[in-house]
Amino acid sequence: MKSTYVVWGVTCGIWLGLASPAAADTVVTTYVTHVQEERASTRWTLTEWLRIKERMRMMDLWLAMFSSPEKDHFSPELNLSYGVTKGNLALTVPGRAGEPAAAVTGSEMRAQLWLTNLVSGLVGVRTLNIDIGLEGFAKSLDGFHQSTAATDPAAPPVADDALGAKRLAYAAALRIFGKSTQDTSLILKYGAYKQTSAIPVLSDSSLAGERQGVQEGGELSVYFCNWLGAEGNYMAMGDDRRAVGADDVQGTYYDYSGFIEVSLLRLMVGRYHEDWRLRGTNGWTKTGESGFLGGVKLQF
């Protein structure tokens, strides 16, 4: 049908052209314009393909944030992980230059319980795909040797084998993106911690005792393919009122690692870093620990 119109248009154009050169120019121009518009509307371009691909990605991301109650069912998940750390710890004393870092070793344990699809599975209504979880975390450090230059004469003597640190923490967690523990996900955390460390006592006896407060942070896991990915954790720790901007206690911890996953087992290797700033009678005492982290995770 379209070709018929084109033939008629050309025929009329020729006929009009014989009668009026100006009319012939108008018909030819109109014909060329229509043909170019049609060809441009059906032309495949790389720019248009990238634009459509970006729109589809945003649509998939939006849909992934909502549950499918007809498919989702309540399925609790449990993660258990264990890692070992090997690094260096530096103790910075008020009024002195930074002391040489000492080699330290330690371990980390983490357990997470996820109430996956709790709302959508029990209520059966479409909701934002946000899952609730609980986390417990334990970190220990040993192997630090006392620096005589950093010792506070008023501090009680501490044996080298007692120069370590332990931190226990628990948190409520929200997974705001990701359908399961074995999915690209973003997690927000808020909870409390309790730490015992003999290392800052070396520079200020007023820092002896147990420190505790609130903490907040997050976790990000990204899959590059079905068996390869990366994971990162961040946590800020403060006093009993706030995690960031506390007056006397300021701590941060983060780690990042790559992982290989085989079924329920995840093998991880990466780096970690932990900083503490503690206000004592002599000023701010600082510790900085960083090194390598390796571990395994089971995801049930």
Q: What is the mean pLDDT of residues 113-129?
A: 77
pLDDT of 132 above 80 = yes
CA distances from 252 to 107, 236, 273, 286 (A): 17, 5, 8, 12
Span 155-161, average pLDDT: 56
Residue 162 vs residues 144, 146, 166, 207, 290: alpha-carbon distances, Å: 9, 10, 11, 16, 20
Mean pLDDT, residues 71-100 taken together: 83
How many CA within 13 A on the CB side of residue 122?
8
> Which residues, including other chains, have CB under 8 Å from residue 282's CB and lie 6 or more apart?
93, 94, 95, 152, 203, 204, 206
Residue 289 has pLDDT above 90, yes or no: yes
Tens digit of pLDDT for each residue in 18-40? 455 555 566 667 777 887 777 77
For residue 130, give the 3-state DSSP assignment.
Answer: coil
Over its C-alpha atoms, the chain yields an Rg (Å, rounded) of: 32
Percent of the chain's residues with pLDDT above 70: 77
pLDDT for residue 259: 96
What digits encode the pLDDT tens for the residues 226-238?
Answer: 889 999 999 999 9
Domain boundaries, given as residue ranges, for the chain: 2-62, 69-299
What average pLDDT does this structure show over 145-150? 58
271-281 mean pLDDT: 92
Phi and psi angles of residue 248, each rounded to the nearest 5 degrees, phi first: -115, -20
Per-residue pLDDT, 154: 59
Residues 167-196 have a mean pLDDT of: 93
Confidence of residue 170 (pLDDT cuts 50, 70, 90): very high
> In the predicted model, what is the mean pLDDT of the chain?
81
